Structure 1
Amino acid sequence: MKNPPDFLTQAYDPLDPNPWLALYLDQSTPLPDHVKQAWLADSCSVSRQFLLPFVRPLARTCIVLIQVVKAFLPRRWAASRLLHWLLAEGLKRLVSPEANWLVMRHFHLGGQILEFIAKNAPTPVATAPLQPLRLDDLKDDFFLKHDLNLFNFVIRLNQALRAAGQQLHPVVQPDFSMVQEPPLALAHFPHGRLNKIDLQTAIECFTPIYQLFLTDNDFWRAANSLQLDETVGIYVATILNTPQHLILLNNKHPLVPLSTLRAGHRLVVHGLSTEMLHALLMQMKSAQAAEAPPAPASPTPR
């Protein structure tokens, strides 16, 4: 981060405690300090405080209007390439470096979590991880592919389990080899004069654009992929035998689809849930490594 956020540099005043400092210091949730700092710096920005309250109702109104307009368009009309070009260029030119860093991390973390489940499942399951390194990489339909990957993984995993007459079960020594910090540096993302839009405001702006340039089926599927947070969380909790960690998931029951009007807010919650689940896996990987017996010494040559 270019400069520490204000809540880390201002003197602590017990008569006027900074709520962002309290959230940063709190350790009740599994989130590493560098991620929490970027998340809170973005959350306490001027953009989120003053722009988001105006953008959110306008964006939701646009979702309703676009739904009406698309009723008169061909069912399969879409422009995915143009959509992803607009999203990538918008991120590069207008969105804060912290928000861009978090967006790019999300692709890596989501892929690692699915691979963790696949590696620890009793039956082999193919995965297709997305690992973008530059914002321009997103132009290759990455947002759409991310949604497809999630549904395809759930289908393939459960097809394989059903065919083998198996279920996910706790694993004594889980394989954490794929869980690692993504090779993305916050300093490498655009820090231009216009890169001020926070993550939540950007997502609210991009949601109706996403709806406009995709088919109704693709947009509905993307919105309802957020309902699978609980599903993926249950898979991981089953492997780790830690059901208590499901308490932070709140995108509601996967069998009860929600309105697309709140897709922007739910996407932010989805991103934070992914960060916390990945942080939990990183903690358990470190604990497992600390408990591992030392490797036997090589015999001394005579």
Structure 2
Amino acid sequence: MSSIDSSNSFASPVSPYPQHPYNRRDPDGWDVLYLDQAIPVDPEAKAYMIKDLRSWSRVYLLNPIRWIANGLLAVILVFKRLWPFEFRAYGLMHRSATWFLKTWVSPEACYLIVRHLGLGSNIVNFLIDNGPDPEIERSTLYPRTVDDLANNAFLEHDLILYNFVYDFHQAQGRSPNWLQEVHQRGITFKSIQPVVVEIDFTPRWHRILDLESAIELFKVFYSLLLTNREFERAVLSLQFDENFGCYVSQILNDYRWNHVIVNRHPLAPNSPFMAARDLLLHGVTTEYLHRYLELMNAAQNQYPDPEPQP
């Protein structure tokens, strides 16, 4: 769904997904997974996801990186609890993240990270369009490149989520019949638009880290440069996936797909040591949800609801 010019260095080397000869006696599980459509995912994003999952970095480096990262995280959390004052450094955190992604992280993982923020904005804006108050502040967070993340993008992503949930429920209290009104006027999918991502796919020897390994390492820096409260808030936000799934299902009156949401129960917060895995699942769930909305939009355009009778 991204706009990538195949004539320059932003061209994707894995779109479409490379097909390998199929061996019925020794099938490649990743190839089969790519073809499987039980849970629809954008084909280009899925190609990047699978290349990331089968990378040697994930096979050989992820577990050692996870052990080291969790050890450092434990030290930082204890230190910051005992330290008499707290500090934050948003600019340093985001500039460091940008440098880290551009220097050490694979282009496929960078693509998925940048794309995720745009998908999140689309979903929030869809809920606003079809919610109790279309005048709620919309999300304008649509980074195109890794460099765009330096503008406090990760912090803004969390703030957009929490502020939306607050505004959404405040508006529900003011408009108790909002859902009936939305269904009467019809669902609009105008906010479910293609997300433009521009990533440099030029091969470089040092851009090797897979997505989850990169998240494991960066969560350490994230915990260091945020206050304890901000870090806890960021970790908790990942379990709001279930809530957002319920919002969408309530509007569309379709709860058939909610079982694919794994990040659940924000009233039983997960440990921050699970944050990298939860963030990976959050990204996957966002891809599922956005693709679901794209397919619902396509179905509505193909089979529009009949005009109400006078």
Normalised by the size of structure 2, how large is the TM-score?
A: 0.89
Out of 15, 35, 47, the residue aligned to residue 25 of structure 2 is 15
What is the alpha-carbon distance in structure 1 between the residues aligned to residue 24 and residue 57 of structure 2?
27
What is the alpha-carbon distance in structure 1 between the residues aligned to residue 229 and residue 97 of structure 2?
20
- Deviation, 1:171, is 3.1
Aligned partner of residue 87 in structure 1, secondary structure? helix
Counterpart position of 1:283: 295
- Deviation, 1:24, is 0.5
What is the alpha-carbon distance in structure 2 between the residues aligned to residue 168 and residue 270 of structure 1?
27
Judge conservation of contact 1:91–1:135 (CA < 8 Å) in 2. yes
Counterpart position of 2:116: 106
Counterpart position of 1:194: 206
Counterpart position of 1:73: 83
Partner amino acid, structure 1, of 2:150: K
Out of 229, 235, 242, the residue aligned to residue 230 of structure 1 is 242
Judge conservation of contact 2:130–2:251 (CA < 8 Å) in 1. yes
What is the alpha-carbon distance in structure 2 between the residues aligned to residue 58 and residue 64 of structure 1?
10
What is the alpha-carbon distance in structure 2 between the residues aligned to residue 278 and residue 45 of structure 1?
25
- Deviation, 1:55, is 0.6
Counterpart position of 1:153: 164
Partner amino acid, structure 2, of 1:255: L
What is the alpha-carbon distance in structure 2 between the residues aligned to residue 85 and residue 218 of structure 1?
18
What is the alpha-carbon distance in structure 2 between the residues aligned to residue 144 and residue 88 of structure 1?
13
Structure 1 pair 228–190 and aligned structure 2 pair: CA distance change class (3 A):
farther
What is the alpha-carbon distance in structure 2 between the residues aligned to residue 74 and residue 191 of structure 1?
46
What is the alpha-carbon distance in structure 2 between the residues aligned to residue 10 and residue 93 of structure 1?
30
Aligned partner of residue 243 in structure 1, secondary structure? coil
Structure 1 pair 151–52 and aligned structure 2 pair: CA distance change class (3 A):
same
Deviations 1:152-203 (A, max 9, x none): 10001101111233454673631101101111145x3554221111101101
Structure 2 alignment gaps of length 5 or more: 1-10, 306-310
Q: Does 1:220 align with 2:232?
A: yes
Counterpart position of 2:283: 271
Counterpart position of 1:179: 192
Partner amino acid, structure 1, of 2:206: L
Out of 53, 60, 63, the residue aligned to residue 50 of structure 1 is 60
Out of 122, 126, 137, the residue aligned to residue 126 of structure 1 is 137
Partner amino acid, structure 1, of 2:24: P
Structure 1 pair 107–288 and aligned structure 2 pair: CA distance change class (3 A):
same
What is the alpha-carbon distance in structure 1 between the residues aligned to residue 286 and residue 23 of structure 2?
33
Partner amino acid, structure 1, of 2:77: Q
Judge conservation of contact 2:34–2:47 (CA < 8 Å) in 1. yes
- Deviation, 1:74, is 4.3
Deviations 1:19-64 (A, max 9, x none): 1011101100020221111100011000001000111121111111
Overall identity of the aligned pairs, in %: 36
Counterpart position of 1:91: 101
Out of 134, 154, 157, the residue aligned to residue 143 of structure 1 is 154
What is the alpha-carbon distance in structure 2 between the residues aligned to residue 67 and residue 145 of structure 1?
23
Judge conservation of contact 2:240–2:264 (CA < 8 Å) in 1. no
Counterpart position of 2:35: 25
Counterpart position of 1:38: 48
Judge conservation of contact 2:89–2:226 (CA < 8 Å) in 1. yes
RMSD: 1.9
What is the alpha-carbon distance in structure 2 between the residues aligned to residue 212 and residue 63 of structure 1?
8
What is the alpha-carbon distance in structure 2 between the residues aligned to residue 75 and residue 276 of structure 1?
41
What is the alpha-carbon distance in structure 2 between the residues aligned to residue 144 and residue 200 of structure 1?
19
- Deviation, 1:98, is 0.7
What is the alpha-carbon distance in structure 1 between the residues aligned to residue 260 and residue 179 of structure 2?
21
What is the alpha-carbon distance in structure 2 between the residues aligned to residue 254 and residue 72 of structure 1?
26
Matched pairs, number = 291
Structure 1 alignment gaps of length 5 or more: 294-302
Structure 1 pair 27–155 and aligned structure 2 pair: CA distance change class (3 A):
same
